Structure 1
């Protein structure tokens, strides 16, 4: 499997970033402003999809 389509679209990545902020807040995490956190979450999502059977 190649890269997922959303991983190449900045508009979708921006929307996912906002969704991550909301989800983290729902579970009591403090606001996160470090770009590395979002990159890590998106990479995990890509890896999950790529390795799921």
Structure 2
């Protein structure tokens, strides 16, 4: 069984990447931080799913 939290985080990452690609430089920094947080969230979720 997949972890439902990682599914949501994956969808969030896709949206953040789309926004990051079209964003202005100042906004890219904020979006990059959000992307890093989502990566950490996936890593944390994968540790507990076996």
State the TM-score, normalizing by the size of structure 1: 0.39
State the TM-score, normalizing by the size of structure 2: 0.40
Which structure carries more relative contact order (alpha carbon 8 Å, separation 6+)?
2
